Amino acid sequence: MLKTSSQKPAVAAMQRLLRSPSGIIGLIIIIIVFLSAIFAPIIAPYDPIELNTKDRLQGPSQNHIVGTDQYGRDTLSRIIHGGRISLSVALISISLATIIGSFLGLLAAFYGGWIDILIMRFTDILLSFPVILLAIALVAFFGSGFSSLVFAIAFVYTGPFTRVTRAAVLSIREELYVEANLALGASNIRTLFITLLPNALAPLIIEVTLRLAYAILIEAGLSFLGLGTPPPAPSWGQMIAENRRFLALSPWATIAPGLAIMVIVFGFNLLGDGLRDALDPRLK
């Protein structure tokens, strides 16, 4: 019986999401991009790093659907494989930011006092810096590469997750079921992770979808500046940077990866809007 009652809110939220046009469109876009990235070696028509100078800077054709770049590499194949890097960086970094930020937010809201002041002042300092500038500084300090990208993006987005979690927990900390849980002798750890955190998941889930879109943009921006994964590994931002000099000769080599970034960011934003409507308590 307990299992059925606990499943009802999740089922109702999923039904509302599936009735949301924006949620459905965003979910379809994200699924297609993720499947393309997972099965990139099978789907991509060419090797993304294979050079073919005789076919350089070609426009869309039967052999190369969106043309080739300055080295004759197939643009579509590089976009498909580049999605693996962009999505991997975004998923890992936002997962780390979610774990660390939600933990800090839980501590700040539950214990209050000097712990809350210390955590929130650190968060305020973190949020006072422009995200892209702080990420550039971190990557420049630690060096370019996949690990540096993940760390930099996770660090700069820890603050928003801390604030969201703290606000959500503060709104439910004084509820009767929380007080009853403590009165029955539940430990602080159990109260934090079994009682408070599950009830604060709705805003966190929405925040995750939005920050994933921002993380992809940050990764693309850093790669564009030469601070991403080193070539010849394909990355959407790096592709734009490499081919922008040839925009007049072969615009598709620059436009196509830009469209890929736009589509996946658009998909995450649509999904975030759908989830916000589905998880809104006023709609239950």
Write the pLDDT tens digit of every residue in 40-81. Answer: 889 988 888 888 878 888 878 888 888 888 888 888 989 999
94 falls in which pLDDT band (50, 70, 90)?
Answer: very high
Higher local confidence (pLDDT), 19 or 98: 98
248 falls in which pLDDT band (50, 70, 90)?
Answer: confident
CB contact burial 196-210 (16+ within 10 A = b; e otherwise):
bbeebebbbebbbbb
The dihedrals phi and psi of 254, each to the nearest 5 degrees, come to -100, -40
Q: Which fold has domain 80-283?
A: MetI-like fold (1.10.3720)
Report pLDDT for 101.
93
In the chain, the percentage of residues whose pLDDT exceeds 90 is 29
Cis peptide bond N-terminal to 130, omega within 30? no
Closest CA to 118 of 72, 162, 85, 153: 162
Q: What's the chain's average pLDDT?
A: 84
Closest CA to 218 of 125, 100, 131: 131
185-211 tens-digit pLDDT: 666 677 777 777 777 788 888 889 889
Report pLDDT for 10.
63
The dihedrals phi and psi of 86, each to the nearest 5 degrees, come to -60, -45
Domain ranges of the chain: 80-283
Crossing angle for the helix pair 146-156 and 131-142, nearest 10 degrees?
A: 140
205-223 tens-digit pLDDT: 888 988 999 999 999 999 8
Residue 32, pLDDT above cutoff 90:
yes
Report pLDDT for 176.
67
Report pLDDT for 5.
41
CA atoms within a 13 Å half-sphere pointing along the CA-CB vector of 248 = 1
d(CA 120, CA 98): 16
